[in-house]
Structure 1
């Protein structure tokens, strides 16, 4: 059934969540996502929200480029939470596997929307489950593999490199000529509706053998924490539109056609949905870019750098747009920000 004119449909994944995939791809194949059209700047901002449909498409494209549907197998040992820098260490720095298991299941809600991460209990077996209705086509197999590998590597982080799950269920057709069965050390059930890694419930009691500090700060900046917690949900049309426009700026100044395509809509359908909320594309774009400009000011980028990052043709165009939104020029606004930051509390 078509969506009502008031709704949007999309899921997002943070750049940092596929950071292990990106690093492993470069390490084992010498390929970067910028080689297949992903702006480098997008990958340099770890909290950036990327439409999952784009990641799905890129994983399909990489399968064709490499010529191997099981290309993740070669990368598998490096696709792990500990390759996610500080956030990855937060997931793993617990006294025992059970706490990390739970932390991943609830913490990933801020890393990826439109998907669930949970455990299904069946007697003495826990099925670590990933359910993503937004994956499709050949990308569905690669996405299923990505998460089954991350789950398995998490188990091996606690249990040792020789640990193997009881069974693995993957959402896609058989591939790999036995390589994937060898990596998991388990039978694989192909074409499964959900991604599941089966383990005996007793292993959740296994303690962490790596040194860690319970009180060690994660060291997220205020801006990073704000971005981390801000994950739009499918029912929140305003946030969905905001984040899709914010994403589109990495490809140049946001356009109606670009955003409509990312939502899987025609230009006219998107305009009708915007009209339902009393929005115009130009006004909401100006609002989004103004807010992003302020974040860049807080990161101390110059006004000319900010104008370039936001896709404006020149500084003058950016200054006029910003002044219409905030009643001040970008230079005036940044100076006031810096002045407030220098003020010390009494």
Structure 2
């Protein structure tokens, strides 16, 4: 039904968005991402929005190197409780394995891996869902994250042997000054090179609080619930869910996020025996249940679902759940 629809979690770009506001005074809304999306780290953002976000950064700031300016100020703690799992390993190799295996739950379509070439270990990243105009900025973001991970274990003065990046940006000297090594542009993936012998060396630098993994069941459910691109119903669910941050989901907005015309989306839904109104009701009632369980007030939930009228919100919920939101909340309270 849909092809190559991928997502990134808020936690994957939250630091970048925060720094944009602090450095340039630019809000996420100005860059096409509603502020309400950023309120929960597990929220999913379609990659099409991330691609536009990268292009908007350069357009609004007027600085083709704005992403480099922003990532210089970022730290690993922005990943929240996940960072404690990543860095609870006994050595760098363990952490790299955890990041490589866990990254697909933060950004689908992203592949972290490793290659050994003689004495060199190459920590690699590829994401084919990032468009050509955004690959350089995305590569810089990920290479900087990897550099911070390596310095967490190998010391703050560690310098990679080489950094390879997709695309091309003009100010090569500035990038080499930041990474402290030779930069090569035009690669099909991002690579950070280091001596292979260092993978099993280096003491863990205690830059993060020594806490256990602290993730609620709701967060864990969210983290593991990354849609497979082949699960078209789940993909559609999450795109509709994202669109509610702009108001009640509309065929126009959802089609735009999927890169389809309204007619194309309607035809594809009809061929699967679906209709847009029912899907929206299913998504909004499902998200309402999640927020009721978290104890969010019903008036707040209604606004988050795009409703300005409580009666309409209650009518929608009862149609798909058989009871009103207030009755559902009471049943849940009585049961638990």
SS in 2 for 1:278: coil
SS in 2 for 1:94: coil
Report the alpha carbon displacement of residue 90 of structure 1 after superposing the two structures with TM: 2.2
Report the alpha carbon displacement of residue 93 of structure 1 after superposing the two structures with TM: 2.6
Aligned position for 2:268: 273
Aligned position for 1:246: 241
Conservation of the 8 A alpha-carbon contact between 2:32 and 2:49? no
Per-residue deviation, residues 50-98 of structure 1 (Å, max 9, x unmatched): 0011111111111122222111222233334332222223222322110
Aligned position for 2:4: 9
Q: What 5-or-longer segments of structure 1 have no aligned partner?
A: 1-5, 342-346
Aligned position for 2:189: 194
Conservation of the 8 A alpha-carbon contact between 2:103 and 2:112? yes
1:55 and 2:65 aligned: no
How far apart in 2 are the matches of 1:45 and 1:218? 18
5 Å-filtered alignment, 1:191-270, equals: 191-211=186-206, 216-270=211-265
Aligned position for 1:316: 311
State the number of aligned residues. Answer: 336
Conservation of the 8 A alpha-carbon contact between 2:112 and 2:124? yes
How far apart in 2 are the matches of 1:9 and 1:265? 13
| TM-score normalized by the length of structure 1 | 0.92
How far apart in 2 are the matches of 1:213 and 1:233? 32
How far apart in 2 are the matches of 1:26 and 1:158? 30
Report the alpha carbon displacement of residue 16 of structure 1 after superposing the two structures with TM: 0.9
Per-residue deviation, residues 115-142 of structure 1 (Å, max 9, x unmatched): 2111122222221111111111432211
5 Å-filtered alignment, 1:1-346, equals: 6-211=1-206, 216-341=211-336
Report the alpha carbon displacement of residue 332 of structure 1 after superposing the two structures with TM: 0.4
Conservation of the 8 A alpha-carbon contact between 2:163 and 2:184? yes
Conservation of the 8 A alpha-carbon contact between 2:33 and 2:49? no
How far apart in 1 are the matches of 2:332 and 2:207? 37
How far apart in 1 are the matches of 2:28 and 2:107? 19
How far apart in 2 are the matches of 1:244 and 1:320? 23
How far apart in 2 are the matches of 1:95 and 1:214? 15
How far apart in 1 are the matches of 2:121 and 2:270? 47
SS in 2 for 1:269: helix
Per-residue deviation, residues 144-176 of structure 1 (Å, max 9, x unmatched): 111011111111111112111111111111322
Per-residue deviation, residues 309-333 of structure 1 (Å, max 9, x unmatched): 1012311111111111111111000
Conservation of the 8 A alpha-carbon contact between 2:120 and 2:193? yes
How far apart in 1 are the matches of 2:194 and 2:292? 48
